[in-house]
Copies of this chain bind each other. A is one copy, B any other.
Amino acid sequence: MHQEQHLRNSDFITDAVIGLSDGLTVPFALAAGLSGAVASNGIIVTAGIAEIVAGSIAMGLGGYLAGKTEIEHYDSELRREHNEVEAVPEKEKAEIRDIFADYGLSEDSQTRIVEELAKDKDKWVDFMMKFELGLERPTLNRARNSALTIGGAYVLGGFVPLLGYFFTDLPLQGLMVSSALTIACLFIFGYFKGKATGQPPIKGAFKVMIVGIIAAGAAFLVAQFLNNNL
């Protein structure tokens, strides 16, 4: 229970953090950049929503495919360990001895562990996978959850910076409202992120906010430069 609960929380938080922070930051920065380059809020909102659709699908599917890649990687390592246990059992046994020697176990105990493990080849291989390679088979369920969490968090985060352009007439007005809203949300989100990960929440809030401002500021400056020089 202890283990399961902690790992799941961490996965979900990591996914939500990635999706939300990118969702707040990228459409915000894109909209900010376009604010000085186009005459109507309609194009900014269109571009922003196109970005949210593309970004959430790319990140969600990206997360899903990364999860599937991990499963395939696990399976190919599993076949490899099975072959090694058949082909070079003494080498594999020495690897197990080394693991336990590192934790200070006696030679005698090392030998007993190895001989008892080697009785069942499937369990032996499972043991090598987990304790030598540090790999656990990720579930497809996990890959799906990751995809939905990242994609959903991206959409949620992405609409915040666009709100400013819905309720104003001119791009630069939209930019001011959008910046105020987004920076406030980055701060609040950073606060809860800090709490969830056991950091000091105020430090977490400032960290996330400053990252968002840097990304948006850089995109804004580059877009301004291009607009003036293209």
Decide if A37 is an interface residue (CB 8 Å cutoff): yes
Instruction: Tell me which of A17-25, A167-175, A176-184 binds B.
Output: A17-25
Overall SS of chain A's interface: helix
Cross-chain contact B18 with A66 (CB below 8 angstroms): yes
Q: Tell me which residues across on chain B come within 8 A of A43, comparing CB atoms.
A: 34, 37-38, 43
Q: Is the C-beta of A145 less than 8 angstroms from some C-beta in chain B?
A: no
Cβ–Cβ contact B54 & A25, under 8 A? yes
Give the residues in chain B near A73, CB-CB below 8 Å.
Answer: 10, 197-198
- Residues of B near A77 (CB, < 8 A) are 6
Question: A30 an interface residue at 8 Å Cβ cutoff?
Answer: yes
A residues 212-230 touching B (CB-CB < 8 Å): 214-216, 218-220, 222-223, 226-227, 230
CB distance from A43 to the nearest CB of B (A): 6
Q: Mark A45-86, 1 if CB is under 8 A from B, else 0.
A: 111011101110111011001100110110011000000000
- A139 interface residue, CB < 8 Å from B? no
Q: A7-B134, A33-B54, A103-B123 are in contact. List 8 more A-B contacts (CB 8 A).
A: A14-B70, A29-B51, A42-B230, A51-B219, A72-B198, A72-B199, A100-B113, A106-B116
| Top 3 A-B residue pairs of the complex, sorted by shortest distance between their CB atoms | A33-B50, A29-B54, A54-B219
10 of the cross-chain contacts (CB-CB < 8 Å) are: A22-B55, A29-B54, A34-B47, A49-B222, A58-B215, A61-B211, A104-B120, A109-B112, A109-B116, A134-B136
